[in-house]
Amino acid sequence: MDLTQLRQRIASLDDHIVTLLNERASYSLEVGLQKQRELKATNANSDLQVYVPGQERAVLNRVATLNHGPLSDQALQAIYREIMSASISLQKEVIVAYLGPRGSFSHEAAVNRFGDSVTYSPRDTIDGKYPSTINRHVYAGRAYSFHCARVCVVDVFAAVESSQVTYGVVPFENSTHGSVIQTLDRFRTSSVRIRAETYLKVRQALLSNYQLSAIKRIYSHPQAFGQVQQWLSQHLPSAECINVSS
């Protein structure tokens, strides 16, 4: 086949893919309606749970099992992550609170778990006092009364507890610093529950317009300094480390 014919074949496949995606979305909507009918039949106080980690993991595992290339398992799973993100957003509006600004590690962990079709709400702190970040994240959510409301800068736990958001993403454990105590303390006193967890590989980058030997001051979050302490001690032992917010 020549280039024009190859593109025509791809376009034809796209026609089928769009049709099948919308057919899948229709069934996903019916799943949501069936869940609502079952809740109503049992007079349960629980709100509709559209995020089911075990079911999503089973779908992703099945996709990998069915895959025979040339796409990698990771590529196909990333595609299905977005398909499922769009599906749960059709069933119900989902707002996810996370620690730190857009682009933080918690934000990255949230997107990896929930995809791009949900609404994200950045929060300044875990509990209103102690900024933090990082590596192992957990997803907290109530089993009832998830009413999405305004987005404001309050702590992640309070946002979930007050039903301003559907789920919250908080750092739980760091391979270099151990457990995040603020998170553990809030789980001890909070009514929210852990729904799932994920592992995020953290990479740090040193940005400068100067040669390494000319660097005198380094600005970063305290958590990041802790993660690269050994590297800084080896390569920039005399540089002044200045703490800034996330």
Whole-model pTM: value is 0.74
The answer to whether residue 87 is domain-embedded is yes
103 shares its domain with 198: yes
Task: Show the domain range for 151.
Answer: 93-202
Q: What share of residues in the chain are helix, strand, coil (percent, to 5)?
A: 45, 15, 35
* 47, pLDDT greater than 80: no
Could you count the other beta carbons within 10 Å of the beta carbon of residue 217? 9
Q: Which pairs count as long-range contacts for 205-209, CB under 8 Å and 24+ apart, including other chains?
A: none
| pLDDT digits 0-9 by tens, 122-178 | 887 665 544 333 344 555 543 322 222 333 334 889 889 988 899 999 888 877 777
pLDDT at 233: 92
The pLDDT value recorded for residue 142 is: 35
Give the pLDDT score at 25.
95
Q: Is residue 226 domain-shared with residue 192, that is, in the same domain?
A: no
What single-letter amino acid sits at 133? Answer: T
Looking at the domain assignment, is residue 207 inside a domain? no
Both 124 and 87 in one domain: the answer is: no
User: What pLDDT, on a 0 to 100 scale, did the predictor assign at position 246?
Assistant: 66
Do the domain assignments include residue 160? yes
Task: Work out how many domains the chain is built from and give that number.
Answer: 3
- Asked if residue 120 is part of any domain, the answer here is yes
- Is residue 145 included in any domain, yes or no? yes
Region 31-58: mean pLDDT is 80
The residues near 219 (Cβ < 8 Å, ≥ 6 apart) are: 242, 244
Q: Which residue in 149, 119, 141, 137 sits closest to 52, CA to CA?
A: 141
Q: Residue 48 — pLDDT band, cuts 50, 70, 90?
A: low
**103 and 166 part of one domain:** yes
Mean pLDDT of 105-119: 91
Side chain identity at 233, as an amino acid letter? S
Are residues 106 and 65 both part of a single domain?
A: no
- Could you say which of 60, 91, 122 is where a domain stops? 91
* Tokens 């099948």 sit on residue: 20
Mark whether 239 and 162 lie in a shared domain: no
CA distance 77 to 95: 22
Tokens at residue 228, please? 């690269």
